[in-house]
Amino acid sequence: MSAHPLSPSARVSAVAANANAPVGIFDSGLGGLSVLRAVRAELPDETILYVADSLYAPYGDRDDDFIADRTLTIGQWLMQQGAKALVVACNTATAQSIAMAREALPIPLVGVEPGIKPAALQSKTRVAGVLATQVTLRSARFQDLLARYAADCRFLCQPGHDLVQAVERCDVGSAELRALLRGYLEPMLDAGADTLVLGCTHYPFLNAAIRDIVGDRLTLIDTSVAIARQLGRVLDQHGLRAQPDEALTVAPRFCSTGDGSHQQQLAASLLLIEAAVEHVAIPSRRTANLSSRAAVGRAILS
């Protein structure tokens, strides 16, 4: 897989011809639907193509090369589908791969990152919790955020083990989920935290369950609205914002590398969007290796 970086002018000319093309939104699974919700509210005239790489979720359990491989391959696939801009709506993929993707893809990219800066500005106790995947927490990008904004604020960083998997199966409120969340959140409260950074786009779907546990003791920091506003600025910068068309109301196009049933359920229940989910195959270097090993395993068993 090779990529040829383009000059800024070439990048603009490559996409500026079609402002009515869709915005591509990509996540390891269903979490990016929280970003899609914010984009639809902030930019109602934009059409959206959403891809969930659910066959390989969660990325938080994957190595860095796998995440980079999937991020670039899905970005290229979205371009082939006509996307004019790409939102990497996954904290793990952004933290690990967005710099590489920006060099390789000739369309504007917007990433996501945990809200360390707003948490540092808002916390009155100067103690804040962070829920994120292990890959995000160990990334250089996240460590740089802490170095820049956490000088006088203590951040309690907690890997959200099994939370992504819960959202992926549409579990946003079971007794088991609440027990898991309680184990993560109560130590933060005991340590004096008054703010919680939701460092994964899956986690806003757990807001109700979190509120049941912490009440009003924690201010929740969800950066999805800020991401949508940044996307608007980027589209304006490149002359790519869609023009209003009262006669045109296009529902998002939903795609999944998995079976899509949970994606359809979550979109209907939490976003009030009734839409089919297309199954798409997006092979890449690392998943080809996985498929080869699986085929060998099946041959041995047979």
Task: Give the lowest-confidence range in 83-97, 206-220, 241-255, 267-281.
Answer: 241-255
Is residue 165 situated within a structural domain? yes
Predicted confidence at residue 43, as pLDDT, reads 95
**One domain for residues 159 and 244:** no
**One domain for residues 74 and 164:** no
Asked if 25 and 89 count as a contact pair (C-beta separation under 8 A), the reply is yes
pTM as predicted: 0.86
- Tell me the average pLDDT across 49-75: 95
Q: Determine the Cα–Cα distance for residues 92 and 167; give it in Å rounded to an integer.
A: 16
Instruction: Tell me the catalytic residues.
Output: 90, 200
**One domain for residues 89 and 122:** no
- Tell me the average pLDDT across 222-227: 94
Cα 242 off chain centre by = 23
**One domain for residues 21 and 164:** no
- C-alpha closest to that of 50 among 26, 78, 79: 26
pLDDT, greater one: 293 or 261? 261
Q: Match 């969800």 to its residue by tokens.
A: 222
**One domain for residues 249 and 103:** yes
Domain's final residue, options 206, 222, 238: 222
Task: Give the lowest-confidence range in 95-104, 120-129, 262-271.
Answer: 262-271
**One domain for residues 101 and 244:** yes
Q: Residue 64 pLDDT > 80, yes or no?
A: yes
Predicted confidence at residue 89, as pLDDT, reads 97
- Tell me the average pLDDT across 107-124: 96
Predicted confidence at residue 129, as pLDDT, reads 98
Domain's final residue, options 222, 243, 260: 222
Is residue 41 situated within a structural domain? yes
Q: What is the DSSP string of 103-165?
A: HH-SS-EEE----HHHHHHH-SSSEEEEEE-HHHHHSHHHHHHHHHH-TTSEEEEEE-TTHHH
- Tell me the average pLDDT across 218-231: 96
Cis peptide before 58 (omega within 30 of 0): yes
The full length of the chain comes to 302
| Per-residue pLDDT reduced to its tens digit, 12-33 | 444 445 888 999 999 999 999 9
Q: Determine the Cα–Cα distance for residues 169 and 152; give it in Å rounded to an integer.
A: 38
| Per-residue pLDDT reduced to its tens digit, 246-279 | 556 678 999 999 999 989 998 998 888 899 999 9
Number of alpha carbons in the 13 Å side-chain half-sphere of residue 13: 5
5 — pLDDT class (breaks 50, 70, 90): very low
Q: Determine the Cα–Cα distance for residues 67 and 51; give it in Å rounded to an integer.
A: 15
When divided into structural domains, the chain yields a total of: 2
Is residue 3 situated within a structural domain? no
**One domain for residues 41 and 106:** yes
**One domain for residues 209 and 244:** no
**One domain for residues 95 and 56:** yes
Is residue 2 situated within a structural domain? no
Q: Determine the Cα–Cα distance for residues 165 and 33; give it in Å rounded to an integer.
A: 15
Tokens of 273: 């969007």
Is residue 302 situated within a structural domain? no
Predicted confidence at residue 226, as pLDDT, reads 94
Predicted confidence at residue 296, as pLDDT, reads 38
Predicted confidence at residue 291, as pLDDT, reads 56
**Domain membership of residue 285 as a residue range:** 8-112+225-296
**One domain for residues 218 and 250:** no
**One domain for residues 235 and 95:** yes
Q: Residue 179 pLDDT > 50, yes or no?
A: yes
Q: Residue 7 pLDDT > 80, yes or no?
A: no
CATH of the domain at 62: 3.40.50.1860
**One domain for residues 15 and 92:** yes
